[in-house]
Chain A
């Protein structure tokens, strides 16, 4: 089945054939109206590696295995998987009797095709398959994935790797992932043909997307599948989004501003459901440069002194931020790693005690008895209350004599400062889709090279540590690997490279008519949603 969801410019349909979007839809109990801050960027399943894009794609397409509403890995298109005798090869047994929305049968060929597509140059998912050397069809329902060296954690990387129909993709000229820089707008960007529980019926990007249940879904009887229609509207302004929920125009919003939780929860028809999110918010500091551009200290880098970093770390009153800025909706932490991640321990998580006097003493010891001035770069549209957190931190650092100049701007202008190493003191949040420490080290701890450390704005570089991080990828002995991970964390914590603030808490606001737990990756899978009868 093909759905042209393009607005069909120029294909001037006359009034009689006018398509009435949403007109024919009765507001019965099976329709769910869903809103969040941002829309999906593309329907091409391999063209973007980004949360809101994956959320929509997950309703339509399926990976071999996916994380359910509690973030546990469960079978999807693969029924089982295990490493073979050769530790560099994983075997996946595929589900039988699965069809794509257009009726085509799902086979191993589609898996091979999709993985190879996701490894192409124009794919945004290729990094996740960097260790994969080949993918081989064994029979119609078995595939082997071969990796460079052993990769015991390969399944973790596959939860967002969607499978497309080989025939449909090739027929419609979408054999390669969408290539935007050359103006390619392939068929798969605005059309979709997956195996998922929902099929797209209409889509106007950034305005409205309508999905309806797939009558031939393989999971009938296995999942609730009570939702028969999904109407998805991105609403950017927080006040408008909450207003839409309060006025009953939408059934669920994924991002309730923390100050409005009470109002939503006290509404007779609404409730708030929460869960710890897989994302940590923290400050990064330039520890590596000899002199800073954004401070008022000449010829020296105050942040290079570990005592200054310790002072900053204990001058931040995390419980106050949690109580006032976050209204209780955060979990203060001392490490840049959410509890979901392999390598997390309670000891690492414990945050240092807020102590102004000790912080002042440390500054004095380091030779900054009178403090110093520095610019703090902060995003203002990325994390929950990001700008307010920075403001609060600026005030707290002011108390120990560090005069902070706050520079808050949209993420599109903030992130380049970190990647281009143009900021000395910044706020960043980091989620860990692989649920493993290696991912954090690769991006935030390894010194910046062509391949690794791209988000390490600290200029920290330690060859010994780099070697340990690189070694993690092919270490098959998990006990040994975990020991190395602990060693690396010990260095990161001792050096106070980052001052962790808290882990975010997700708050979904929804009508009391539904029963829907919060997914820790902020990924609602509507096939699990149940209506309260």
Chain B
């Protein structure tokens, strides 16, 4: 067990170092940060001087190691655009994204499980077909278009829900939340649907497929043969076995929900990390871009690690030499 965890940890660190290298070096080539710092009225002399002061003339590896060294102590430098420490900006923005991602994930999970079970049990009902097809329509349109259509219908035409932002936000000092006010909750609805729709479809299909498979298993047949009530078979036996893989996959999906928030946040002007990242790309704000990518990688690696360790603890088969060999 200890060696397994140690090996996984080591791998995680290597993954992070590689991500750091990639994100840092690559974004170095997008545009010119100096231009944005100085603005239109700067002279050539200002320009050259600033390049020197920021060390942008140093070889990229030197810049990378400087970056890595500071990153280890939590210092990602100062945003070229906002001129404030990146760590501080990220800490300010993270609650908005995490809250949105959490609500979307919850929506996707509950919606996915409920619809998944329904469509698995009533395989040939019209409603099942309608749900299956309807969910496909949701994933057959780009997210940004769904978001704009929702804004158009529910904010502009019906005026039911807000079109942008988080509404009234409560500041707890270390965290800002929109969950405690009516306007905050109303503001969450459209972005959460936009962001969660794809995952909901994914989970629903997964639950349906797993459920159908489990229902074919011998022990379910035995249970039926033994005259156990159908409800008990479905909800206590079949469902429990369906949900184990579903939960682990949902865990892994949380990372991509956060990443896909980029699009939802730009459509809804949601003041989170995704919007920050898109702004950073447009302004060539390298410290923010690099920190964001590192953060996404860290979140993903941690989730991966937890899922791996849990699987290892729960499922003895995973301890063999063939990790992940179960399809």
Is there any pair of Cβ atoms, one from A and one from B, under 8 angstroms apart in the complex?
yes
Q: Is the CB of A9 within 8 A of B174?
A: yes
- With most chain B CB atoms within 10 A of its CB, the pick from A183, A240, A381 is A240
Q: Is the CB of A206 within 8 A of B276?
A: yes
Q: Is the CB of A183 within 8 A of B78?
A: yes
Residue of chain B at shortest CB distance from A409: B31
* B43 cross-chain contacts in A, Cβ below 8 A: 127, 450-452, 454
Q: Is the CB of A23 within 8 A of B181?
A: yes
* B170 cross-chain contacts in A, Cβ below 8 A: 18, 20-21, 23
* B44 cross-chain contacts in A, Cβ below 8 A: 419, 448-451, 454
* A247 cross-chain contacts in B, Cβ below 8 A: 155-156, 159, 162-163
A47 to B38, CA, bound (A): 10
Q: Is the CB of A412 within 8 A of B35?
A: yes
Binary CB contact string for chain A from 233 to 260 against chain B (1 if under 8 A, 0 otherwise): 1111101110110111100000000000
Contact check: which of A9, A181, A240 meets B50 at CB < 8 Å? A181
A522 to B181, CA, bound (A): 35
Q: Is the CB of B172 within 8 A of A15?
A: yes
- The SS class assigned to the A binding surface is loop
Q: Is the CB of A412 within 8 A of B282?
A: yes
Binary CB contact string for chain B from 2 to 38 against chain A (1 if under 8 A, 0 otherwise): 0000000000000000000000000000111111111
Q: Is the CB of A21 within 8 A of B284?
A: no
Contact check: which of B37, B41, B155, B166 meets A180 at CB < 8 Å? B37
Q: Is the CB of A180 within 8 A of B78?
A: yes
A20 to B17, CA, bound (A): 40
- The answer to whether the Cβ of A11 comes within 8 Å of any Cβ in the partner chain is yes
Contact check: which of A13, A189, A249 meets B84 at CB < 8 Å? A189
Q: How far is the CB of B174 from chain A (nearest CB, A)?
A: 5
Q: Is the CB of A185 within 8 A of B85?
A: yes
Residue of chain B at shortest CB distance from A190: B84
A455 to B164, CA, bound (A): 37
Q: How far is the CB of B203 from chain A (nearest CB, A)?
A: 28
Q: How far is the CB of A302 from chain B (nearest CB, A)?
A: 28
* B36 cross-chain contacts in A, Cβ below 8 A: 412
Q: Which residues in window 400-454 of A have CB below 8 A to B?
A: 410-413, 415-416, 419-420, 443, 448-452, 454
A205 to B79, CA, bound (A): 12
- The answer to whether the Cβ of B237 comes within 8 Å of any Cβ in the partner chain is no
Q: Is the CB of A248 within 8 A of B164?
A: no
Contact check: which of A9, A42, A244, A415 meets B83 at CB < 8 Å? A42
Given A19-B171, A21-B169, A410-B282: A204 touches B92 (CB 8 Å cut-off): yes
* B41 cross-chain contacts in A, Cβ below 8 A: 49, 124, 127, 443
- The answer to whether the Cβ of A158 comes within 8 Å of any Cβ in the partner chain is no
Q: Is the CB of B82 within 8 A of A412?
A: no
Residue of chain A at shortest CB distance from B148: A239
* A8 cross-chain contacts in B, Cβ below 8 A: 173
- With most chain A CB atoms within 10 A of its CB, the pick from B33, B40, B50, B266 is B40
* A49 cross-chain contacts in B, Cβ below 8 A: 39-41
Given A189-B83, A205-B82, A249-B164: A7 touches B37 (CB 8 Å cut-off): no
Residue of chain B at shortest CB distance from A13: B173
Q: How far is the CB of B63 from chain A (nearest CB, A)?
A: 14
* B45 cross-chain contacts in A, Cβ below 8 A: 450-451
A263 to B172, CA, bound (A): 40
Q: Is the CB of B163 within 8 A of A249?
A: yes
- The answer to whether the Cβ of B120 comes within 8 Å of any Cβ in the partner chain is no
A443 to B44, CA, bound (A): 11
Q: Count of A residues near B, CB < 8 Å? A: 68
* B279 cross-chain contacts in A, Cβ below 8 A: 206, 236
- The answer to whether the Cβ of B108 comes within 8 Å of any Cβ in the partner chain is no
- The answer to whether the Cβ of A151 comes within 8 Å of any Cβ in the partner chain is no
Q: How far is the CB of A462 from chain B (nearest CB, A)?
A: 19
Q: How far is the CB of B87 from chain A (nearest CB, A)?
A: 9
* B155 cross-chain contacts in A, Cβ below 8 A: 243-244, 246-247, 249
- With most chain A CB atoms within 10 A of its CB, the pick from B92, B159, B281, B284 is B92
Q: How far is the CB of B67 from chain A (nearest CB, A)?
A: 14
* B181 cross-chain contacts in A, Cβ below 8 A: 23
Q: Is the CB of A41 within 8 A of B173?
A: no
A497 to B43, CA, bound (A): 21
Contact check: which of B88, B168, B173, B275 meets A11 at CB < 8 Å? B173
Given A7-B92, A247-B159, A454-B43: A20 touches B171 (CB 8 Å cut-off): yes
Q: Which residues in window 347-403 of A have CB below 8 A to B?
A: 381
- The answer to whether the Cβ of B251 comes within 8 Å of any Cβ in the partner chain is no
A49 to B46, CA, bound (A): 14
A180 to B292, CA, bound (A): 20
Binary CB contact string for chain B from 66 to 93 against chain A (1 if under 8 A, 0 otherwise): 0000000000011011111100110110
* B163 cross-chain contacts in A, Cβ below 8 A: 240, 243-244, 247, 249
A420 to B169, CA, bound (A): 44
- The answer to whether the Cβ of A57 comes within 8 Å of any Cβ in the partner chain is no
- The answer to whether the Cβ of A208 comes within 8 Å of any Cβ in the partner chain is yes
A182 to B83, CA, bound (A): 10
Q: Is the CB of A240 within 8 A of B168?
A: no
- The answer to whether the Cβ of B193 comes within 8 Å of any Cβ in the partner chain is no
A92 to B29, CA, bound (A): 49
Residue of chain B at shortest CB distance from A448: B44
Q: Is the CB of A454 within 8 A of B42?
A: yes
Q: How far is the CB of A494 from chain B (nearest CB, A)?
A: 27
A321 to B54, CA, bound (A): 42
Q: Is the CB of B266 within 8 A of A237?
A: yes
Given A23-B168, A451-B43: A240 touches B268 (CB 8 Å cut-off): yes
- The answer to whether the Cβ of B101 comes within 8 Å of any Cβ in the partner chain is no
- The answer to whether the Cβ of B152 comes within 8 Å of any Cβ in the partner chain is yes
Residue of chain A at shortest CB distance from B161: A247
Q: Is the CB of B164 within 8 A of A41?
A: no
Given A20-B168, A189-B84, A410-B31: A240 touches B174 (CB 8 Å cut-off): no
Q: Which residues in window 274-310 of B have CB below 8 A to A?
A: 275-276, 279, 281-284
Q: Is the CB of A21 within 8 A of B171?
A: yes
Residue of chain B at shortest CB distance from A417: B32
Q: Is the CB of A7 within 8 A of B171?
A: yes
Binary CB contact string for chain A from 1 to 45 against chain B (1 if under 8 A, 0 otherwise): 000000111111111011111110000000000000000011000
- The answer to whether the Cβ of A50 comes within 8 Å of any Cβ in the partner chain is yes
- The answer to whether the Cβ of B311 comes within 8 Å of any Cβ in the partner chain is no
- The answer to whether the Cβ of A147 comes within 8 Å of any Cβ in the partner chain is no
A346 to B133, CA, bound (A): 63
* A201 cross-chain contacts in B, Cβ below 8 A: none
Residue of chain A at shortest CB distance from B167: A22
Residue of chain B at shortest CB distance from A416: B32
* A236 cross-chain contacts in B, Cβ below 8 A: 266, 269, 275, 279
Could you list some 20 contacts between A and B, CB below 8 A? A21-B171, A48-B39, A49-B41, A178-B83, A180-B37, A180-B78, A181-B37, A181-B54, A185-B85, A205-B82, A207-B166, A233-B269, A237-B267, A240-B269, A244-B163, A249-B164, A381-B282, A410-B282, A412-B36, A454-B44
Additional A-B contact list (7), CB under 8 Å, known A20-B171, A204-B92, A247-B159: A7-B176, A49-B39, A124-B39, A189-B84, A412-B283, A415-B32, A454-B43
Instruction: List A residues at the B interface (Cβ < 8 Å).
Output: 7-15, 17-23, 41-42, 47-50, 124, 127, 178, 180-183, 185, 189-190, 204-208, 233-237, 239-241, 243-244, 246-249, 381, 410-413, 415-416, 419-420, 443, 448-452, 454-455
In order of increasing CB-CB distance, the 4 nearest A-B pairs are A13-B173, A207-B271, A416-B32, A413-B31
